Structure 1
Amino acid sequence: MSRLHKPKAGFWIRLCVVILYPLDGLLFRVRWRHLDRMPAPKDSGVLIAMNHISIVDTVLMARLVWQSGRIPRFMIKSGVFDWPVVGRIMSGAGQIPVHRGTTDAAQSLRHAVAALERHEAIVIYPEGTTTKDPANWPMQGKTGIARLVLLAPDVPVVPVGQWGAEKRGGRGPARLGLSLGRRRTAQASVGEPLDLSHWRGVEPTQENLRAITDEIMAAVRQQVAVLRNEPAPPTFYVPTRTYVDRKRKSA
């Protein structure tokens, strides 16, 4: 599948493409819908909000963003950057570490805003971790994405729903999606960019942040409902656990 646009990508991004494309093909049959809804790089930066259903779905969503013609800059939990090899690739590819539940999370937002001003594509899982909803629907999102919306009010927010990668999980080899058997079909649907102009200039109160986050997650959930061909639940599952990341050690 060809890319819709072809912005320049550096060595580390191209290395990721070389690694991820064969891996995606090994694990999944990919099916994308409405890639043309993604704004072109020449037009603006873009904030892409996705549901998170599996530890392996990031390789799929990176491919989707790449094929839409954007270079993905994921906001990823900081612990990943401490992994051997993987952490070096993430840093080299310009991905953004997020220290969940800490005051250092504000630094991640500043890096994301700067990237958006450079017309880059920021990818965020508002849930902050893989969904804990018993039926794998998107759960309640964290309000970091709402803070980002208020900091970059002119940037379009694109909801993306995915389905299929949740079947790659469990323990041992299956945890990495390498269990024997046929490839799974993984789907994703890109929604229309959201009009969040009615939130421009509002105070970042907890009530407003929650409302903005829920509006975005409802749009993501609707894309998932289309893929699943069933009605979405009326409310979001609320996780009971809070995730906190330790600050990365300096090199």
Structure 2
Amino acid sequence: MTSHTWIDGTRIPADGGCIVVANHISHLDPLLTAHFVYDHGRIPRYLAKSSLFRTRFVGTVLGSAGQIPVERLSRNAIGAYDAAVRAVHEGECVVVYPEGTLTRDPDLWPMTGKSGAARIALATGVPVIPLGHWGAQDVLAPYAKRPHLFPRKHVVMKAGDPVPIDDLRAKKQTPEVVTETTERIMTAITDIVAELRGEQPPAERFDPRIHGVKPIGNPNKKDRR
């Protein structure tokens, strides 16, 4: 289906609890991210939007692997947070998409993050490894149902150094601290994506609460590589 280039996957800790945070551009992301994480010696456990579990193939894979569905705006969202914290404390590698859903940025840049990943990180004190990737949107465009398998596509994925948040962990977990932690996480992810794309990200991160939900751009434009 694709060829791939994996970069710096050894930055994911070989053992012990950790959180991997990644950008979200395609419904294929969980499968590709799982491939990346597994190839570097860890079994990923996902904290993912519940709708992904209802996607035929992706849902089967995620569900069979004991993953953690998040029912947004419900009591189950709190239960998912508790389950993720418990999994991290038990030494598992938990993968979180901080944006909470596929990006709505017109050019597929990471948009504003939600607080889940930050709160788990602050509660557990484990390494937070940012992961950026590009190319999955050429195989399966955001919100598309049919993949484009030919010509063969290429996906590149890179892990970064742990997000520096030790100073924030030493503070009381106020909304301001959670917001700053989330911003550092999203900046780390965006910096990797910018490197992979060879482009500068927008000066202002797309926020659907402010900008509304806009149609995404054409993910197959040649100048996106």
Whether contact under 8 Å (1:51, 1:125) holds in the other structure is: yes
What amino acid is the match of 2:98?
P
Identity %: 38
Correspondent of 2:113 among 121, 141, 154: 141
The answer to whether structure 1 residue 36 and structure 2 residue 30 are counterparts is no
- Tell me the residue number matched to 2:75: 103
Letter in 1 for 2:137: E
Residues in 2 aligned to 1:49 and 1:170: alpha-carbon distance in whole angstroms: 21
TM-score, scaled to structure 1: 0.77
* Partner Cα separation in structure 2 for residue 237 and residue 171 of structure 1: 16
Runs of 4+ in 1 over 4 A off after TM superposition: 82-89
Counterpart of 2:172 in structure 1: which amino acid? E
Between 233-242 and 122-131, the greater mean CA deviation after superposition: 233-242
Aligned to 2:26: 54
Alignment CA distance shift 1:53-1:239 (3 Å)? same
Counterparts of 1:87 and 1:231 in 2: how far apart (Å)? 34
Q: Which runs of 5+ in 2 are unaligned?
A: 214-225
Cα deviation 1:163-205 (Å, max 9, x = unaligned): 1112234599x6331x352111111110011231101143333
Is residue 128 from structure 1 mapped to residue 134 from structure 2 by the alignment? no
SS in 1 for 2:171: coil
Could you tell me whether the CA contact under 8 Å between 2:163 and 2:184 is conserved in 1? no
RMSD (Å) for aligned C-alpha atoms: 2.2
Say yes or no: does 1:92 pair with 2:64: yes
Instruction: Name the structure 2 match of 1:162.
Output: 133
Q: Which residue of the partner structure matches residue 198 of structure 1? A: 167
- 1:53 match: secondary structure: coil
TM-score by length of structure 2 reads 0.85
In terms of mean alpha carbon deviation, does 120-129 or 197-206 score higher? 197-206
- AA aligned to 2:167 is H
Contact 2:190 / 2:201 at 8 angstroms: preserved in 1?
Answer: yes
How far apart are the structure 2 equivalents of 1:170 and 1:51? 14
